[in-house]
Amino acid sequence: MLMLMIEEKRKQMIELGKKHGLSSAKTITCSQELDRLIEKYQITNQQQYTMEKEVSFN
């Protein structure tokens, strides 16, 4: 689910960049939203990895 959201936000950012330019406020805002989604994905994956690692040691 999160990966789909990331992919959709990435596509949206590319389209905004094409239409309004890479330095437009709309493109930058979308890029920041994409950054937050990617960060959330990375945190989730790290937490899952840590939990799996702890379980495998027990």
* pLDDT at residue number 47: 87
Mean pLDDT of 18-35: 99
* pLDDT at residue number 57: 64
Q: What is the CATH number of the domain that holds 34?
A: 4.10.280
d(CA 35, CA 41): 10
Judged against a pLDDT cut of 90, whether residue 50 lies above it is answered with: no
Q: Which range of residues forms the domain containing residue 9?
A: 2-57
Kindly list the distances between the CA atom of residue 1 and the CA atoms of 4, 17, 31, 33, in Å, as whole numbers in the listed order. 5, 24, 19, 16
The structure tokens listed for 24 are 């437009």
Mean residue pLDDT of the chain comes to: 93
Number of domains comprising the chain: 1
Judged against a pLDDT cut of 80, whether residue 56 lies above it is answered with: no
Mean pLDDT of 8-30: 99
Mean pLDDT of 19-32: 99
